Amino acid sequence: MARFENVKASSTASNPFEGLGVEDRLKKHIVEGIKKNLEEHLGDALKIYTPLEIINEVLLDGMKTVGELFGAGKMQLPFVLQSAEVMKAAVRQLEPLMEKVEGGEKGSILLATVAGDVHDIGKNLVDIILSNNGYRVVNIGIKQSINAILDKTIETKCQVIGLSGLLVKSTLVMRDNLLELNSRGLSSYPVILGGAALTRAYVEQDLSSIYEGRVFYARDAFEGLRLMGVLSEGGEPNGTIEAPSAPPAPDDEPYEAVRVRSHRIDELERDLYVFSGIKSDIAPVKNPPRIPFYGAKRHIKFDIFEIYKYINPIALFRGQWQFKRPEGMGNIEFNQWIDSNASPIFERMKRELGSVLKPKVKWGYFPCSSSGNDLIIYRDDLRTEWLRFNFPRQRDGRRSCITDFFAPSESGATDTVGFQIVTVGSQASELERELFAKGDFQDYLFVHGMSVETAEALAEFWHRQMRIELGIADQEPDEMRLLFSAKYHGARYSFGYPACPNLEDQAKLFELMSPEDIGIELSEEFMLIPEQSTSAIIVHHPEAKYFNIR
Ligand code: B12
């Protein structure tokens, strides 16, 4: 248990601060994330130090230790956030007593998620880590145009620009933003980029070669912290050196692999969408399932606790809450640790979010046929074409394309395709905003993770209902673990994932499903609003599995 430094060993003692000097007491508050008696101990410190001295010399020293423990894999992210909460509470108490010292900050950064991208959490984690390590952070939110980013950077006198984005498209937006900085003669700004679709090579080679200034890649918030440290000291961060971020847990399957559908994908070449006459060897099903009903229906009455059963605990604990197995700890010991630490949080979240999450589903079935790389959807007369999807085909290997799972139009037969779109509503986002603003960072992370994984669970749950409805529930796994690895008959492909990467296809799904009546809207950038929503095309073919397009 010692490896988890922040699991408060001392919290069981009657007075964990006994015998400690005021500096050590304050550091203990920070490192162990203890809020109780903080006010009183800050009061004691104020008898000796100025508020600024307390922050810079004592509290930030504590945060430095937190960063080191995290970097050494000895502290988990949720506990880092707990420490940040204490830091924020302390600064809140001290701030009114301080005179604003111009230039007294360690450094400053403007943070934004780029235009067209709605992802908030990654950037907000960066905000929490940097601002509670003494940097001034101006966080201007999501979907920010380059004009807004530059105006605010100049207005707020930030030294560094930090851009975030999870979409593949965002990597191109970031490129355009850097070109814009060049053309406006503003390349003196160092830029830090982060987000799932980026790779270190893309930033440090491709983008670095087009930007006249300095651009860096940050794998996570702590790499951002390291970069800010070097940049604010006027140094030259060597972008090619791995940051002291927490190392991946030993032998752990990468999270991407656990969540079968997560791949980093690059922009695909147009010619992969053009049918060259060569198909895969996938044979369409001779007797496809009959359409259970034509068109889309909605379902809005759920027992949320039934949905919770479909939450993938690995995706939640490891992917969202970022509990990682530290080096030297065996699997059994780690599972025990998870049972006694993460599982109670999961149970609390289930209860607390029971009335916040509002599951709603729209789903439907349509006649279809395939033509090369096109999937043609018909009206209920089974003949009139309604719309068509165009999917990419693997360049090599099996040469798979989603359309190969469906009867070709030249056969004269029609096949059945399903679609689903699900949401858990927008109240969770509202709660997240409140928690973030209040400085309840740990719960912010927990609520966000729980709400997005419940959306994913709802999609999983409803996919099972659709398999039953289609009469293909013949291979249902009896273990949830296998369900999460998609070990069942058929597959659920989400637009934006490798086999159907075009987010623009969401517009066609909207035309078919009209999910506005369950409160889901499509942004101009083809993102789903509320955030905790997900959509998919449901394929009944027994060979349908996730595949990458290369
Ligand atoms: C969880 C998840 C979901 C959840 C929640 C989404 C959300 N709003 O958060 C759900 C299930 C709802 C979902 C839905 C969808 N998703 Co999704 N999702 C993910 C997943 C698996 C993890 C994202 C995440 O939570 N990461 C955790 C956070 C904390 O990490 P982060 O944001 O990257 O930030 C960290 C670092 O990157 C870094 N960082 C980030 N920015 C910055 C900036 C600076 C300055 C610094 C220093 C550091 C830094 O530091 C952060 C903290 O350490 C990713 C894949 C992945 N590996 O990232 C796909 C992913 C983002 N999703 C994707 C897609 C396609 C979708 C859908 C469109 C699918 C669909 N058709 O329904 C929908 C869209 C939803 C919508 N509202 O429009 C794609 C997007 C790619 C693309 N095509 O453009 C991804 C990349 C998966 C893929 N294909 O590989 N998704």
Could you write out the DSSP letters of every residue in 190-259? Answer: -EEEE-TT--HHIIIIIIHHH-SS-EEE-SSHHHHHHHHHHHHTT----TTSPPSPPPPPTTPPPHHHHS
Interatomic CA distance for residues 386 and 375, integer angstroms: 11
Q: What is the 3-state secondary structure (H, E, C) of 276-325?
A: CCCCCCCCCCCCCCCCCCCEEEEECCCCHHHHHCCCCHHHHHHHHCCCCC
Q: Where are the alpha helices (DSSP H) in 16-137?
A: 22-32, 38-46, 51-53, 60-71, 77-94, 121-131
Interatomic CA distance for residues 487 and 482, integer angstroms: 5
**Ligand 1 geometric centre to CA of 513 (Å):** 24
Rama region for 269: left / alpha / beta (φ>0; ψ in -120 to 50; rest): beta
Spatial CA neighbour of 87 closest among 117, 42, 138: 42
In sequence order, what are the residues at sequence separation of 6 or more whose Cβ sits closer than 8 angstroms to the Cβ of residue 96? none
| Per-residue confidence in pLDDT tens, the chain, 550 aa | 333 544 444 445 578 888 899 999 999 999 999 999 999 999 999 999 999 889 888 999 999 999 899 888 889 999 999 999 999 999 989 988 877 655 567 899 999 999 999 899 999 999 999 998 999 999 999 999 999 999 999 999 999 999 999 999 999 999 999 999 999 999 999 999 999 889 999 999 999 999 999 999 999 999 999 999 999 887 666 543 344 344 444 444 443 333 333 333 445 678 899 998 999 999 999 999 999 999 999 999 999 999 999 999 999 999 999 998 887 889 899 999 999 999 999 999 999 999 999 999 999 999 999 999 999 999 999 999 999 999 999 998 999 999 999 999 999 999 999 999 999 999 999 999 999 999 999 999 999 999 999 999 999 999 999 999 999 998 899 889 889 989 899 999 999 999 999 999 999 999 999 999 999 999 988 999 999 999 999 999 999 999 998 7
What pLDDT, on the 0 to 100 scale, is given for residue 446? 97
Q: Please confirm whether the linkage preceding 530 is cis (ω < 30° from 0).
A: yes
Is residue 502 lining ligand 1, measured as CB closer than 6 Å?
no
What pLDDT, on the 0 to 100 scale, is given for residue 96? 85
* Helix (H/G/I), strand (E/B), else coil: 419: strand
What pLDDT, on the 0 to 100 scale, is given for residue 102? 52
Is residue 175 lining ligand 1, measured as CB closer than 6 Å?
no
| CA dihedral over 346, 347, 350, 351, signed as positive or negative | negative
Is residue 220 lining ligand 1, measured as CB closer than 6 Å?
yes
Q: Which of 174, 423, 529, 534 for mutating ligand 1's site (highest number of atoms within 8 Å of CB)?
A: 534
Task: Report yes or no: 91 and 85 within 8 Å, Cβ to Cβ.
Answer: no
Interatomic CA distance for residues 259 and 255, integer angstroms: 6
| CA dihedral over 83, 86, 88, 94, signed as positive or negative | negative
Is residue 440 lining ligand 1, measured as CB closer than 6 Å?
no
What pLDDT, on the 0 to 100 scale, is given for residue 269? 79
Interatomic CA distance for residues 30 and 28, integer angstroms: 5
What pLDDT, on the 0 to 100 scale, is given for residue 267? 54
Ligand 1 atom index nearest CA of 259: 21
Task: Report yes or no: 327 and 250 within 8 Å, Cβ to Cβ.
Answer: yes
What pLDDT, on the 0 to 100 scale, is given for residue 240? 39
At CA 262, angle to CA 359 and CA 192, rounded to 5? 105
- 366 strand-pairing partners: 417
Q: With b meaning 16 or more CB within 10 Å and e meaning fewer, what string describes 344-357?
A: ebbeebbeebeebb
Q: Which of 166, 258, 441 for mutating ligand 1's site (highest number of atoms within 8 Å of CB)?
A: 166
**Ligand 1 geometric centre to CA of 120 (Å):** 9
Interatomic CA distance for residues 528 and 360, integer angstroms: 14
Ligand 1 atom index nearest CA of 530: 77
What pLDDT, on the 0 to 100 scale, is given for residue 1? 33
